[in-house]
Structure 1
Amino acid sequence: MSPQNPIPASQDPVQQVLACFDAYDRVRRAHDSLLPTNRVSPREEQRAFDDLRKAIERLRVAR
């Protein structure tokens, strides 16, 4: 999932964390890209990290 498309709250918390981690990983790789069209802004990177952190918190609460 992209940072702009939050994961539905009804989704399994483990799947939420995995999807957010994948999105954050893609953003981090794009951050280091040599191609200007693939780069992301610091705001997009922060949003992906925040989404990951929230998904981890939901997982902790659910368990």
Structure 2
Amino acid sequence: SPRYQRALKLHGITQGMSRKGNSMDDGLIENFFDLLKTEMFYDQEYKYHSLQELAQAIEEYIEYYN
């Protein structure tokens, strides 16, 4: 929607969307985020007492994953 696109632009975020009917564009990143959520978040929310702790854990996971 135009309102959503303006909000993204206001915050300096580039919108990324696949073309209709071409979901393969995002398959790799979708798989990565599914792994991230499954391996370090689902049923483990109690581990993170703040957003900073969660952000740090995500950064460490990405470093490990790479």
TM interval, shorter chain, is 0.3 to 0.5
Q: Which has the larger radius of gyration?
A: 2
**TM-score between both structures, scaled by the size of structure 1:** 0.33
RCO higher in structure (CA 8 A, sep ≥6): 1
Q: Normalising to structure 2: TM-score of the pair? A: 0.32
